[in-house]
Amino acid sequence: QVQLVESGGGLVQAGGSLRLSCAASGRIFAIKDMGWYRQAPGKQRELVARISNDGTTTHADSVKDRFTISRDSGKNAVYLQANNLKPEDTAVYYCNARTMPVNAYWGQGTQVTVSS
């Protein structure tokens, strides 16, 4: 089992910034990559960004040049720096970890609200 705890969400004005954090515990040695997803009301959950153990990152087109995912292996944590936030970024943001053998774990989510 892997446990994930997110923090850092909140209310911010358009153009502002937030830094989301996710702390992992449990079978962290089995984690092969971690990521951030988000789900807006009435929409499907979507990938925002992902980072693998070798540091390779992937960002959704909608957040490229605004959001950056990073990882601190020593602290078993992953971060999402979100800059120039837009109202359409409003969603619940979820931390995700994928392990070997294949399994997926989710945090409880943190709300990000961007006002116009």
Q: What is the pLDDT of residues 11-52, one digit of tens each?
A: 999 999 999 999 999 998 999 999 999 999 999 999 999 999
The per-residue pLDDT for 100 is 86
Q: How many Å apart are CA 54 and CA 93, to the nearest integer? A: 23
Tens digits of per-residue pLDDT, 2-11? 999 999 999 9
| 47-64: burial string, b at 16+ Cβ within 10 Å, e else | ebbbbeeeeeeebeeebe
Q: Pick from 70, 71, 67: which is nearest to 91 by CA?
A: 67
pLDDT at 62: 97
Q: How does pLDDT run across 85-110, given as a tens digit for each residue?
A: 999 999 999 999 999 888 999 999 99
Question: Residues 49-87: pLDDT tens digits?
Answer: 999 999 999 999 999 999 999 999 787 899 999 999 999
